């Protein structure tokens, strides 16, 4: 445990030691079944019980109402960029609205263009995706089948602080802030989240769909991307990512035992505040470009040494001596970025902040 680093990766990322330990303890023999979870038939009673408990705990912590189905799909969140239009675009308009507040939202928008008419209600690219324009300024198409927004843009650190209500069915990519706070499920037609940030290994996505939207997929929609197929088969139309679902189950139990999503919201806010305060109190030495009203509690991009790239490089190198790793910004934007998902202990943030102070003093 002592050899573990403070890994600030944007995902995959740190998971709580308690959860990893439980995986390790049950690796060879789950609950006295004589086999590990990786070796079980997905239709056997052992795995079915793991699946049911996982869904039940997730529904419980997220307070998913009976109107909505919760299931797993493969292909991470990116596959959902296609699933969404393939399932939810409706004739005659075959149109959808997209709020583009970062590059993930933009990717989702572009994928929709393959299947229908995608309209951007806003696009903050020219301001380097540093803010979210007020909903009142969005150019909404009343004929659109849905409005898609990315609840937390992982690269730029821009997070919606409330559900954007525009009078259209709402679809949200919650990949990078899922299970970091309570969400308003019933206001959404569809929510999806890649699980490799707050919930487990990469490769799968949790989908929460209003049952009323199921069964409308286009005829060209691949069977595995059809929400009705996946909901009706309880994620098991084909062999599901059993191990990933198992780890999500352990995480859901862990998140619940610690106090549910209200606790994690407070915890995330506390961790993020420590870092934002250090950045803002550095007299411009560290800079976070994001507008204050939409700063993410999960991903915090910042520049070092007033944006001096040589100092940034030095900062990243020296940080490693303090166990602070994977702090470089996304390859498309540079700079630094600290991701503070549920698995990042508060000691990680405190160590980072004290290293930042030390570094500033030594390299004014």
Q: Determine the Cα–Cα distance for residues 282 and 290; give it in Å rounded to an integer.
A: 16
Residue choice 78, 141, 216, 363 for contact with ligand PMP (CB under 6 A): 78
Three-state DSSP class for residue 31? helix
Question: Does 159 participate in binding ligand PMP (rule CB under 6 A)?
Answer: no
Catalytic choice (197, 226, 264, 271): 197
Other beta carbons less than 10 A from residue 91's beta carbon: 10
Kindly state the number of chain residues that form the binding site for ligand PMP, as judged by CB under 6 A.
Answer: 13
Instruction: Tokens for 27, please give them.
Output: 């690796």
Binds ligand PMP by CB under 6 A, chosen from 57, 173, 226, 312: 173
Q: Which stretch binds ligand PMP (CB under 6 A): 171-179, 243-251, 337-345, 352-360?
A: 171-179
Phi, psi values for residue 243, rounded to 5°: -65, -45
CA distance 319 to 317: 5
| Contact pattern from residue 18 through residue 57 relative to ligand PMP, giving x for each residue in contact according to CB under 6 A and a dash for the rest | ----------------------------------------
Cβ atoms within 10 Å, residue 361: 9
Q: How far is the CB of 77 from ligand PMP (least distance, A)?
A: 3
User: Tokens standing for 329?
Assistant: 């910004």
Q: Is 232 a catalytic residue?
A: no
**Which range of residues in 58-66, 70-78, 180-188, 267-275 is near ligand PMP by CB under 6 A?**
70-78
Q: Give 220-257 as a 3 state SS string.
A: CCCHHHCHHHHHHCCCCCCCCCHHHHHHHHHHHHHHHH
| 326 is a site residue for ligand PMP (CB under 6 A) | no
Examine residue 154 and tell whether it contacts ligand PMP (CB under 6 A): yes
Q: Which residues pair with 207 in a beta bridge?
A: 71, 192
Stretch binding ligand PMP (CB under 6 A), from 52-60, 139-147, 158-166, 172-180: 172-180
Q: Among residues 57 and 106, whose Cβ is nearest to ligand PMP? A: 106
Residue among 206 and 255 whose Cβ is closer to ligand PMP:
206
Site for ligand PMP in 327-356 (CB under 6 A): none
150 binds ligand PMP (CB under 6 A): yes
Asked whether the beta carbons of 79 and 86 are under 8 A apart, the reply is no
Active site residue 66: no
| Residue nearest ligand PMP by beta-carbon distance | 76
> Which residue stretch of 37-45, 91-99, 118-126, 168-176 sits at the interface with ligand PMP (rule: CB under 6 A)?
168-176
Q: Which of 57, 97, 173, 210 is catalytic?
A: 173
- The window from 173-181, 288-296, 319-327, 356-364 that contacts ligand PMP (CB under 6 A) reads 173-181
Structure tokens at 5: 């680093």
Residues of span 187-226 touching ligand PMP by CB under 6 A: 194, 202
170-173 long-range CB contacts below 8 Å, 24 or more apart?
170/146, 171/84, 171/88, 171/146, 171/147, 172/148, 173/77, 173/80, 173/104, 173/105, 173/108, 173/148, 173/149
Active site residue 104: yes
For ligand PMP, the binding residue among 6, 71, 72, 104 (CB under 6 A) is: 104
Query: Residue 307, SS3?
Result: helix
Task: Tell me which residue of 80, 78, 111 sits closest to 96, measured CA to CA.
Answer: 111
Residue 46 and residue 30 in contact, taking contact as beta carbons nearer than 8 Å: yes
Our CB check for ligand PMP shows the closer of 97 and 153 to be 153
Q: How far is C-alpha 52 from the geometric centre of its chain's CA atoms?
A: 23
Q: Does 119 bind ligand PMP (CB under 6 A)?
A: no
Rounded to whole angstroms, the Cα distance separating 266 from 180 reads: 9
CA 28 to chain centre: 30
76 binds ligand PMP (CB under 6 A): yes
Catalytic residue among 57, 97, 104, 271: 104
C-alpha span between 200 and 85 (Å, rounded): 26
Strand partners, 222: none
Nearest approach, Cβ of 283 to ligand PMP (angstroms)?
31
Catalytic positions are 104, 173, 197
Q: Which residues bind ligand PMP (CB under 6 A)?
A: 10-11, 76-78, 104, 150, 154, 173, 175-176, 194, 202
């Amino acid at each position: 445990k002592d050899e573990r680093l403070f890994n600030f990766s944007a995902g995959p990322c740190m998971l709580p030691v308690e959860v990893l330990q439980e995986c390790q303890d049950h690796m060879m023999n789950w609950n006295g079944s004589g086999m590990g979870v990786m070796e079980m038939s997905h239709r056997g009673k052992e795995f079915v019980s793991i699946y049911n408990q996982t869904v039940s705990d997730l529904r419980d912590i997220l307070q998913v109402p009976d109107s909505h189905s919760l299931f797993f799909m493969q292909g991470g969140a990116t596959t959902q960029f296609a699933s969404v239009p393939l399932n939810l675009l409706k004739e005659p308009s075959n149109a959808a609205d997209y709020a583009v507040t970062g590059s993930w939202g933009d990717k989702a928008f572009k994928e929709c263009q393959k299947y229908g008419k995608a309209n951007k209600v806003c696009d903050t690219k020219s301001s380097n995706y540093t803010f979210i324009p007020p909903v009142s300024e969005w150019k909404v198409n009343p004929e659109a089948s849905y409005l898609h927004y990315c609840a937390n843009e992982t690269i730029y650190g821009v997070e919606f602080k409330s559900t954007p209500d525009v009078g259209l069915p709402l679809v949200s990519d919650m990949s990078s802030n899922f299970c970091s706070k309570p969400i308003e499920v019933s206001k959404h037609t569809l929510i999806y989240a890649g699980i490799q940030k707050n919930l487990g290994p990469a490769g799968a996505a949790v989908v929460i769909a209003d049952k009323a939207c199921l069964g409308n997929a286009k005829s060209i929609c691949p069977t595995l991307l059809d929400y009705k197929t996946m909901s009706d088969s309880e994620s098991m139309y084909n062999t599901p990512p059993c191990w990933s679902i198992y780890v999500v189950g352990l995480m859901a139990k862990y998140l619940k035992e610690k106090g549910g999503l209200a606790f994690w919201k407070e915890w995330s806010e506390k961790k993020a505040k420590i870092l934002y305060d250090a950045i803002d109190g550095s007299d411009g030495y560290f800079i976070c470009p994001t507008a204050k009203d939409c700063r993410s509690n999960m991903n915090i991009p910042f520049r070092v040494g007033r944006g001096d790239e040589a100092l940034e490089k030095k900062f990243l190198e020296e940080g490693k001596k303090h166990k602070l790793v994977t702090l470089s910004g996304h390859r498309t934007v540079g700079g630094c970025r600290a991701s503070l998902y549920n698995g990042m202990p508060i000691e990680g943030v405190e160590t980072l902040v004290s290293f930042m102070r030390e570094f500033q003093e030594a390299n004014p």
